[in-house]
Amino acid sequence: MKPTYILGVSAFYHDSAACLLRDGVIVAAGQEERFTRKKGDSDFPRHAAQYCLKTAGIGPSDLAYVGFYDKPLLKFERILETYLGVAPRGFSQFRLAGPAWMKEKLFQDREIRSALNYEGEVLYAEHHESHAASAFFPSPFEEAAILTVDGVGEWATASFGVGRGNNLELRKELHWPDSLGLLYSAFTYFTGFKVNSGEYKVMGLAPYGEPKYVDIIYRELIDLREDGSFTLNQKYFNYLTGLTMTDGAFSALLGGPPRVPESKLTQREMDLARSVQVVCEEIIMRMAKTAHRETGLENLCLAGGVALNCVANGRLLREGPFKRLWIQPAAGDAGGALGVAQLIWHRHLGRPRTVQTGKDAMRGAYLGPEFSADEIAAYLDAQGASYERLERHCLHERVARLLADEKIVGWFDGRMEFGPRALGNRSILGDPRSPTMQKVLNLKVKYRESFRPFAPSVLHEDAQRWFDLDGTSPYMLLVAPVRAEHRRDMTAEERALFGIDKLNVPRSTIPAVTHIDYSARVQTVHADTNPRFHALISCFKAKTGCPVLVNTSFNVRSEPIVCTPEDAFRCFMGNEIELLVVGNCMLRKAEQNPALKVDYKDEFEPD
Ligand SMILES: [Fe+2]
């Protein structure tokens, strides 16, 4: 029988993406930014969709359905009502979720059809249903509570519900303009970072600060209820009407204007970051407790941009109330493309869902393009690059030895990751034991702020010997403490340091991946989903006794993660990485023709 192909699409807001299912199985998924090299590209994902179709060897006429991740009419209604000054509508506590799945016929059909050269049916899901579907359907759970939290979709800004078998039902929603995502973004803007991409920096900055503003936030900015629902005091925010997130009243309340982007970070920004992080965690904890109480279930699935807050996720896992947690790796809007496609398969077509015990359906999130050894060699030859082509085991041996020698390695292998994290296929790797690695990587390789922490990739089998982590973290979405036996105590003098001065104090035997509060954003590496990356770390462990590598995404700041060998080579020739591995080809910077150097870091605007 002919297979059923469904293409899911998210677009026109931020982080456009496409995802293809064949008989319910994820064949390919990609974010448009990786193909167009425009960070957070929100245009219709033509390139990503083309890539998906090409991977399956099909054309647009082979698609049974195209799904779109939100409902443009509802979103339009919110924007219109906001503009006319009649929003917020209704009350602000958790509301019953609105009517579920429906078809929508409107102008967007035409746009989607013509962009894809497709003539079939287009179906629409609600934004938070798409998030919820992306959280539950690929999860390793037969049944689970679902929590979605983001900036805003059509009206909803957070929701919770239940997934069972092939069924999914949202029960309650929190509505615009009361939004945890937008509260966090307001502080992101106020601390001088870019909204929609700088939230990660605020989270990274938080441990340097004190929660000095928490009382003010609760007193003035937010009315938080026991069940996790809340009302934001719109007097202080400007995102309903203006171009900025906050206004003069916000500045007056917090004792001064926003930080000018790129200016020096002060203790104030660190304290603001810590404060909004504390509030964010409290809200997530309360929402989770409510979802737990109302569903009586033991598993929780998370998605929506706020689910990328891995510090909050780590707390949720450690402090309950759920026993198990699964977070969609593409938790932001890109993941909506996957969610809507799965809604069509399971809900619209009523197809069953089978769960493999203990395994999710994301295949490690390695769902993007890959390149054959011959394609890679042909590209490098055309560039006049100098390289060695090595057997796999020999390559791993060599790279592990160089890593142990504190060399920084650009590592490009297999299929590109779907979602914001590099998980060992488009990564820059280093030795976590090195006390200078964090600084060198930030300043000479990534060209970004020195405070930003790096994440460890650890062999799954060794994870619990190094981190206090209950379960796995294949998608680098959980923060866990480094175990006590690997920590290093601070001297009295070091303890007295404040803010960013704490940065240079090594906290553990793997200082490059240990944040100042002894936490680490862990990726557990599994032999079944990424055997080659697993083998490389195993080699490093055999040489050093350490089953951990520094893993940061292969890009410089403001640039999307590299997608092709060409992107990787350009990035390599434009920064201070000493070694590049593309497939089984190894390149040393010192051996490259200096004429190939790329003046690279100035091509991207600061973020
Ligand atoms: Fe969203």
Rounded to the nearest angstrom, the distance between the alpha carbon of 152 and the centre of ligand 1 is 6
- Band of pLDDT at residue 600, cut at 50, 70 and 90: low
Mean pLDDT of 299-306: 96
Q: CA 590 to CA 607: how far, in whole Å? A: 30
Q: Convert the pLDDT of each residue in 409-433 to its tens digit.
A: 999 999 999 999 999 999 999 999 9
Q: Does pLDDT of 286 surpass 90?
A: yes
Q: E-strand spans in 306-381?
A: 324-327
User: Within 13 A of 237's CA, how many CA atoms are on the CB side?
Assistant: 23
Angle, helices 46-56 vs 107-116, to 10°: value is 50
CA–CA separation, 477 and 513 (whole Å): 15
Confidence of residue 499 (pLDDT cuts 50, 70, 90): low
Residue 101: predicted pLDDT = 41
Angle at 328 between CA 327 and CA 331, to 5 degrees: 105
Mean pLDDT of 460-472: 95
Cα(403) to centroid(ligand 1), Å: 38
pLDDT of residue 440: 87
Q: Residue 368 Cα, ligand 1 centroid: separation in angstroms?
A: 21
Element (H, E) at 44: none
Separation of alpha carbons 281 and 383, rounded Å: 49
Please give the pLDDT value at position 497: 73
Taking the centre of ligand 1 as the mean of its atom positions, its distance from the CA of residue 178, in whole angstroms, is: 14
Q: Partners of 551 in the beta sheet?
A: 429, 455
What's the gap in Å between 309 CA and the centre of ligand 1?
A: 14
pLDDT value of position 241: 65
Judge whether 471 and 324 are in contact, CB under 8 Å. Answer: yes
d(CA 435, CA 195) in angstroms, rounded, equals 32
- Are 70 and 104 a contacting pair, CB within 8 Å? no
| Cα–Cα distance, 582 to 124 (Å, whole number) | 39
- Give the count of beta carbons closer than 10 Å to the beta carbon of residue 319: 12
pLDDT at 100 exceeding the cut of 80 = no
Question: And the tokens for 453?
Answer: 């922490």
| CA-derived radius of gyration, the chain | 23
Q: How confident is the model at residue 74 (pLDDT cuts 50, 70, 90)?
A: confident
Cis peptide before 560, with omega less than 30 degrees from 0? Answer: no
CA of 127 to the centre of ligand 1 (A): 6
Residue 265 Cα to ligand 1 midpoint, Å, equals: 29
Q: What is the pLDDT of residue 604?
A: 46
CA 151 – ligand 1 centroid, Å: 6
Q: Find the 174 Cα to ligand 1 centroid distance in Å.
A: 13
pLDDT beyond 50 at 38 = yes
- Give 253 Cα–ligand 1 centroid separation in angstroms: 29
Mean pLDDT calculated for residue range 162-189: 94
Q: Is the pLDDT of residue 607 over 50?
A: no
Question: How far does the centroid of ligand 1 lie from the alpha carbon of residue 96, in Å?
Answer: 19
Residue 303 pLDDT grade (very low, low, confident, very high; cuts 50, 70, 90):
very high
d(CA 408, CA 525): 19
Burial (CB count <10 Å: 0-12, 13-18, 19+), residue 253: middle
- Residue 99 pLDDT more than 60? no
User: How far apart are the CA of 455 and the centre of ligand 1, in A?
Assistant: 25
CA pair distance 32, 46, nearest whole angstrom:
7
pLDDT at 97: 61
Read off the pTM.
0.93
Tell me, in angstroms, the distance from the centre of ligand 1 to residue 182's CA.
Answer: 11
Give 375-384 pLDDT, tens digit per residue: 999 999 999 9
Phi, psi (rounded to 5 degrees) for 172 = -135, 155
pLDDT digits (tens, 9 = 90+) for 320-357: 899 999 999 999 999 999 999 999 999 999 999 999 88
150 C-alpha to ligand 1 centroid (Å): 5
CA 544 / ligand 1 centre spacing (Å):
42
Q: Which is more confidently placed, 84 or 493?
A: 493
What is the mean pLDDT of the segment spanning 67-76?
83
- Say which residue the tokens 């239940």 belong to: 162
Tokens found for residue 395: 């390559």
Average pLDDT score over residue span 204-226: 95
Q: What pLDDT shows up at residue 23? A: 98
Q: How many angstroms does the Cα of residue 264 sit away from the middle of ligand 1?
A: 31
Is 446's pLDDT higher than 80? no
Cα of 328 vs centre of ligand 1, distance in Å, is 12
CA of 371 to the centre of ligand 1 (A): 31
Query: pLDDT-based confidence at 218, cuts 50/70/90?
Result: very high
Report the mean per-residue pLDDT for the chain.
91
CA distance 471 to 460: 9
Residue 89 has pLDDT above 60, yes or no: no
CB 12 within 8 A of CB 44: yes
Cα–Cα distance measured from residue 542 to residue 176, given in angstroms and rounded to the nearest whole number: 53
Centroid of ligand 1 to alpha carbon of 305 (angstroms): 6
Instruction: Give tens-digit pLDDT for 112-125.
Output: 999 999 999 999 99
Nearest to 190 by CA among 215, 233, 182: 182
Look at residue 449 and tell me whether its pLDDT is greater than 80: no
Average of pLDDT values for 359-368? 97
Query: Distance between CA atoms of 427 and 535, rounded to whole angstroms?
Result: 15
Instruction: Give the pLDDT band of residue 578 (cuts 50, 70, 90).
Output: very high
Query: Ligand 1 centroid vs 52 CA: distance in angstroms?
Result: 22
Cβ–Cβ < 8 Å for 304, 273: no
pLDDT given at position 516: 86
pLDDT at 102 (0 to 100): 45
| Phi, psi dihedrals of residue 317, rounded to the nearest 5° | -70, -40
